[in-house]
């Protein structure tokens, strides 16, 4: 099977979000044009993205909203639930553990870990914070699909190594540093510092060059 670009997968997510919204509003069909408008891209891009996975539309008519929704959920692997653990019960970890959106989309947080004895044992919404020291044993037993890494930068790589050794194959990292893993482990990372610096760069170079005529309108 052909390798799918990450940019394509990101856009599929965006299309799905909008399709679900359209589904709720009772729309029956939608064109690549409209999907593109809302996703901040072009209709050719939408069709190309979908074409990697099959042929979902009807010429002259567009796509059936519920059918395309279902297909995208299928492609993205969202027909099942995923077992997620969160490592790090600091500001971010706490916010994530309580974030409703996770469960809503089938990502079930089954455990939260920290190393701070003052945090271990505390309970949020039916989840007890566990000691990170025992995480390998837990991973062995529960085989979580995804680990969310919400620990300070200095500790991130060390914890990642332990997670990988214990068998975790997917990591969502919030650490401000780059995480290295073997090729069979997928890492996505959210780096706030990087995003802010991207904005800082944009604001600065705009000033430096005098009202740049750039033409980006939708984000990323």
Partner DNA sequence: CGGAGCTTGTGAATTGATTCACAAATTATG
Partner DNA sequence: CATAATTTGTGAATCAATTCACAAGCTCCG
Residues 153-182 contacting its own copies, CB under 8 A = 169-173, 176-182
Other beta carbons within 10 Å of 215: 5
- Are 163 and 113 in contact by the 8 Å Cβ rule? The answer is no
Residue 171's DSSP bridge partners are 147, 187
Residues 6-35 contacting DNA, CB under 7 A = 6-8, 31-33
Give the x-and-dash track for 117-156 against its own copies (CB under 8 A). ----------------------------xx----------
Residue 104 Cβ vs DNA, minimum distance, rounded to whole Å: 28
71 scored as a contact of DNA (CB under 7 A): no
Q: Which of 99, 108, 140, 158 binds its own copies (CB under 8 A)?
A: 99
> Which range binds its own copies by CB under 8 A, 23-31, 116-124, 128-136, 187-195?
187-195
5 scored as a contact of DNA (CB under 7 A): yes
Q: How far apart are CA 33 and CA 15, in angstroms?
A: 12
What's the token pair of residue 136? 């390998």
Q: Which of 13, 17, 21, 61 binds DNA (CB under 7 A)?
A: 61
Residues 96-125 contacting DNA, CB under 7 A = none
Who's near 41: CB < 8 A, 6+ residues apart? 11, 218
Report the partner that residue 111 touches, choosing among DNA, its own copies, none (CB closer than 5 to 8 A by kind): none
Number of residues that bind its own copies (CB under 8 A): 80
Report the partner that residue 184 touches, choosing among its own copies, DNA, none (CB closer than 5 to 8 A by kind): its own copies
Question: Please, what's the largest Cα pairwise distance for the chain?
Answer: 63
Residue 123's DSSP bridge partners are 128
- Are 212 and 33 in contact by the 8 Å Cβ rule? The answer is no
Q: How far apart are CA 152 and CA 119, in angstroms?
A: 15
- Are 11 and 45 in contact by the 8 Å Cβ rule? The answer is yes
What's the token pair of residue 73? 């959920």
Residue 45 Cβ vs DNA, minimum distance, rounded to whole Å: 4
Give the x-and-dash track for 23-42 against its own copies (CB under 8 A). ---------------xxx--
Q: Whose structure tokens read 């959920």? A: 73
Per CB under 7 A, residues contacting DNA are 5-8, 31-33, 41-45, 47-48, 50-51, 55-63
């Amino acid at each position: 099977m052909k390798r799918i670009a990450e940019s394509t997968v990101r856009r599929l997510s965006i299309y799905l979000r909008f399709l679900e919204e359209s589904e709720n509003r009772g729309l029956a069909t939608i064109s690549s044009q409209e999907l593109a408008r809302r996703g901040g891209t072009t209709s050719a891009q939408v069709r190309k993205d979908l074409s990697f996975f099959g042929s979902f539309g009807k010429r002259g008519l567009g796509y059936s909203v519920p059918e395309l929704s279902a297909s995208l959920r299928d492609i993205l692997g969202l027909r099942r639930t995923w077992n997620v653990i969160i490592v790090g019960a600091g500001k971010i970890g706490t916010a994530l553990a309580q974030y409703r959106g996770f469960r809503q989309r089938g990502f079930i947080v089954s455990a939260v870990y920290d190393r701070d004895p003052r945090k271990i044992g505390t309970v949020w919404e039916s989840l007890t914070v566990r000691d990170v020291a025992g995480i390998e044993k837990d991973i062995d037993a529960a085989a979580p699909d995804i680990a969310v890494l919400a620990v300070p930068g200095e500790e991130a790589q060390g914890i990642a190594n332990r997670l990988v050794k214990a068998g975790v194959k997917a990591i969502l990292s919030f650490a401000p540093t780059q995480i290295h893993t073997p090729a069979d482990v997928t890492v996505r990372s959210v780096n706030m510092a990087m995003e802010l610096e991207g904005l800082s760069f944009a604001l600065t170079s705009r000033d430096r060059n005098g009202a740049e005529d750039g033409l980006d309108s939708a984000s990323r």
